[in-house]
Amino acid sequence: MTDRSRIIRSHLDTIFGPLESRVLDMLWARSSAACVRDLQPSFPGVAYTTLMTTLDRLFRKGVLRRAKTGRAFFYEPQFSQNELRTQLAGSTFATMLPGDTSAVRPILSQFVDAVGDRDLGLLDDLEALVRARRDELEKQGAK
């Protein structure tokens, strides 16, 4: 497992329980929707009903789509791993950023420090993203 995938796994485990994260991983690895019976062999020691409840919980959280075929529900991810990560990051930032702009500076400073500590190249990427967003907003203002 790479450092990046460990970080992603750690982040997902803080938002979803360990079993929920494993179920998501299994569904992302599949090319088609799955029912509890399809997934059960990959979860030895986990009761059928526990797996069923976990899938239902992920559906109710809006992470999975489901369709009923016969008596069984078939589940598939609503988002790719990257799309989910992007949505989670967006909602985390929206929650963390207060309305008072003076309180935002320490949060942004910590973010920049964390990015710089991880990889100096990411600071260049961040700077390019800021410039692109600024250009986009200026073009919108010119309309």
Domain boundaries, the chain: 3-77, 98-142
CB atoms < 10 A from the CB of 47, how many? 10
Please give the CATH topology (third level) of the domain spanning 3-77. Arc Repressor Mutant, subunit A (1.10.10)
H or E segment at 77?
strand 72-77
Side chain identity at 104, as an amino acid letter? V
> For residue 54, with 0-12 CB atoms within 10 Å meaning exposed, 13-18 middle and 19 or more buried, which class applies?
buried
Q: What is the pLDDT of residue 134?
A: 92
Q: Place 111 in a pLDDT band, splitting at 50, 70 and 90.
A: confident
CB atoms < 10 A from the CB of 78, how many? 16
Side chain identity at 99, as an amino acid letter? G
| 18-22, 43-47, 73-77, 82-86: least confident range | 82-86
The model's pLDDT over 28-38, given as tens digits with 9 standing for 90+, comes to 999 999 999 99
Over pLDDT 70: what percentage of the chain? 88
Its pTM surpasses 0.75: no
Interval 11-33 mean pLDDT: 87
Helix intervals (H) in the chain: 3-15, 18-29, 36-39, 48-60, 81-96, 101-118, 120-142
In whole angstroms, what is the distance from residue 18 CA to residue 82 CA?
A: 19
